[in-house]
Chain A
Amino acid sequence: MDHRPQAWGRPRDDVYGAYDASYLQTNGPKTATQSPIVTGTSVIAIKFKDGVVMAADNLASYGSLARFTDVKRLRPFLSTSIVGFGGDVSDMQFLDRHLNELAIDEAYEHESTATTDTDSPSKTGQLNAANLHKYLSKLMYRRRSDFDPLWNQVLVAGFDAHAKPFLASVDLRGTTFTSPSLATGFGAMLAQPIMRRFAATEEDAAALTREQAVDVVKECMKVLFYRDARSLDRYSIAVVTKDGVELSEDEQLEKQSWAFAERIRGYGTQVV
């Protein structure tokens, strides 16, 4: 028996052989996230006359396993903006905590001007959605430049400095763009064409009512549930207007019709 302190708790050399210390090397290559692990699928959003509607389902998948079914992927910011996350859920949590910290610091900065008398959610000088999107795009680009990207595609909705509805996206490479309607992941293929039928241009979007926009988004969520195998029929929907963010986190897809599925041949147990 080896009684030297440095041998305490270690496998005995005489039984297991000498430990291969090369496993303990610390000077290997730097590694970072190579791929996402637990993921959320599409986030979709469309602008309307006085705001933006955004939706995402409540699923976090582990590969193809529907692992978590009550995941909230729409996050309000300062009750004036909403951020929707697609992609890696742990990176989303990191960003959520970071934004929470940012929001608390923002409140410190502006408490002298923020009066509780005006109930307007967009207090002068506070970070609006356009500022928040710019901030997130810098953060995401910085992280991809460090070869350690945050594996998300993010939609930011709210209002810009001119109090116009604002909607923009940023992805894990720091790529940004904006459009009257936006969708991440599978939604970019399946939901975006539907939304463009209603809001191809800013003018079209400015003519949409809130009810129309909500209906379009709900229809898109249904199409996504039909065709995206990593999706769920429970979802969250948020409406951002000048009055603030209305977020509903436990919606159920209604009026589903799977009649079309009868005609699909060539998958699963069906015989062509």
Chain B
Amino acid sequence: MTSIGTGYDLANSIFSPDGRNFQVEYAVKAVENGGTSIGIRCKDGVVLAVEKLVTSKLLKPSANKRIATVDRHLGVVYSGMIPDGRHFIDRARDEARAWRDTFKTPISTADLASRMGGYMQAYTLYQSVRPFGITAIVGGFDSTAEATVDGEVGAGPSCGAGGKVAGKTHGGPFLYMIEPSGLYWGYYGAATGKGRQAAKAELEKLDLGGPAGGPALTLEEAVKEAARIIYVAHDDDKEFELEMTWISGLDGPTKGLHQEVPKALREEAERLAKKAQEGKMEE
């Protein structure tokens, strides 16, 4: 980088003359070294997956989970510096709780992404701090049911809440990715970390009901695709564990909760992923 040694990369809160914040760009570099994380938003839910690099044989398999739950219906996965990610999750949980305290209802995925985007952005503004060395993918399923209020005791009128537009639905699956700069966008499929290029290429091939519309992938198909993409994006000579979680609507397998993908389904997805890999090798 030509900018090194010019002095503009020493701190946040100082732009370079061509309008860049180098500290943020270096944070992105930290993310690019982390294990690949992906998120897929499909018709009836969201799947999150991460390539968890095994740094030592002394680590207990399947311990030290990388995907965390926020409230009940949101999941967060991240690539980059793990301690930064742990703090990000702590903060996200605080935000979700504060939201419930204030509004007596669960935070929506968009609102959490907004709050956390704002939080990350604040770490690009001051001398005294450094940006987060992570890119986080936030997935969630906002309830499509009549919104309940925490602590409510009665059912209310049998026609439900008023002010409704006929045929208008609300809630559904959502996926956001938040970068070290604080930039966050909603995605149909998101990938970050070391294998993001390969993963993005694979995600683009999927039918995620994007702007063109059309039938989107189902949740179970998305789980299998997620496993396959992590295997495709993986750099062969390193050990890794696949960690996957999913969130469906109230009528789906997780009943609106963010949960680990059941072992049987995950192993099936991994088997298919390995098979697809071997098929490619032979070609």
The reply to whether B264 and A96 contact each other, CB–CB distance below 8 Å, is: no
The reply to whether A71 and B154 contact each other, CB–CB distance below 8 Å, is: yes
Taking CB atoms, residues of chain A closer than 8 Å to B264 are 117
The reply to whether A116 and B259 contact each other, CB–CB distance below 8 Å, is: yes
The reply to whether A72 and B100 contact each other, CB–CB distance below 8 Å, is: no
- Contact mask for chain B residues 142-164; partner A; CB cutoff 8 A; 1 contact, 0 none: 00000000111111000000000
Residue from A60, A96, A108 with most neighbouring chain B CB atoms (10 Å) = A108
Decide if A35 is an interface residue (CB 8 Å cutoff): no
Decide if A68 is an interface residue (CB 8 Å cutoff): yes
| Complex Cα–Cα for A96 and B153 (A) | 10
| Complex Cα–Cα for A60 and B263 (A) | 45
Decide if A92 is an interface residue (CB 8 Å cutoff): yes
Decide if A188 is an interface residue (CB 8 Å cutoff): no
| Complex Cα–Cα for A104 and B96 (A) | 10
Known: A68-B154, A89-B153, A107-B69. A116 touches B262 (CB 8 A): yes
Within 8 A of B (CB), among A54-95: 60, 68, 70-73, 89, 92-94
| Complex Cα–Cα for A108 and B263 (A) | 20
Decide if B63 is an interface residue (CB 8 Å cutoff): yes
Taking CB atoms, residues of chain A closer than 8 Å to B150 are 96-97, 100
Decide if B20 is an interface residue (CB 8 Å cutoff): no
Taking CB atoms, residues of chain B closer than 8 Å to A94 are 151
The reply to whether B155 and A70 contact each other, CB–CB distance below 8 Å, is: yes
Known: A116-B259, A117-B263. A101 touches B154 (CB 8 A): no
> Which chain B residue has the least Cβ–Cβ distance from A94?
B151
The reply to whether A73 and B153 contact each other, CB–CB distance below 8 Å, is: yes
The reply to whether A101 and B151 contact each other, CB–CB distance below 8 Å, is: no
Q: Which of A60, A108, A116 contacts B153 (CB 8 A)?
A: A60
Decide if A112 is an interface residue (CB 8 Å cutoff): yes
- Contact mask for chain A residues 97-119; partner B; CB cutoff 8 A; 1 contact, 0 none: 10011001001100110011100
| Complex Cα–Cα for A72 and B63 (A) | 40
> Which chain A residue has the least Cβ–Cβ distance from B254?
A116
The reply to whether B69 and A70 contact each other, CB–CB distance below 8 Å, is: no
Known: A107-B69, A108-B93. A116 touches B260 (CB 8 A): yes
| Closest Cβ–Cβ distance, residue A98 to chain B (whole Å) | 9
| Complex Cα–Cα for A94 and B261 (A) | 34
Taking CB atoms, residues of chain B closer than 8 Å to A70 are 154-155
Taking CB atoms, residues of chain B closer than 8 Å to A72 are 153-154
Decide if B68 is an interface residue (CB 8 Å cutoff): yes
Taking CB atoms, residues of chain A closer than 8 Å to B64 are 112
| Complex Cα–Cα for A68 and B263 (A) | 46
> Which chain A residue has the least Cβ–Cβ distance from B260?
A116
> Which chain A residue has the least Cβ–Cβ distance from B246?
A116
> Which chain A residue has the least Cβ–Cβ distance from B264?
A117
| Closest Cβ–Cβ distance, residue B84 to chain A (whole Å) | 18
Q: Which of B69, B100, B263 contacts A101 (CB 8 A)?
A: B100
The reply to whether B262 and A111 contact each other, CB–CB distance below 8 Å, is: no
Decide if B71 is an interface residue (CB 8 Å cutoff): yes
The reply to whether B63 and A112 contact each other, CB–CB distance below 8 Å, is: yes
Q: Which of B68, B152, B261 contacts A111 (CB 8 A)?
A: B68
Decide if B97 is an interface residue (CB 8 Å cutoff): yes
Decide if B87 is an interface residue (CB 8 Å cutoff): no
Decide if B72 is an interface residue (CB 8 Å cutoff): yes
| Complex Cα–Cα for A112 and B63 (A) | 7
> Which chain B residue has the least Cβ–Cβ distance from A250?
B155
> Which chain A residue has the least Cβ–Cβ distance from B72?
A104
The reply to whether B262 and A96 contact each other, CB–CB distance below 8 Å, is: no
Instruction: Give the top 9 A-B pairs by smallest Cβ distance, nearest first.
Output: A93-B151, A97-B151, A71-B153, A70-B154, A117-B263, A96-B151, A70-B155, A97-B150, A116-B262
List residues of A whose CB falls within 8 A of some B CB: 60, 68, 70-73, 89, 92-94, 96-97, 100-101, 104, 107-108, 111-112, 115-117
A-B contacts besides A72-B154, A108-B69, A111-B65, 4 pairs, CB < 8 Å: A73-B153, A96-B150, A97-B151, A100-B151
Task: Return 18 A-B CB contacts under 8 Å, by A number.
Answer: A60-B153, A70-B155, A71-B154, A96-B150, A97-B150, A108-B68, A108-B93, A111-B65, A111-B69, A111-B260, A112-B65, A115-B263, A116-B260, A116-B261, A116-B262, A117-B262, A117-B263, A117-B264
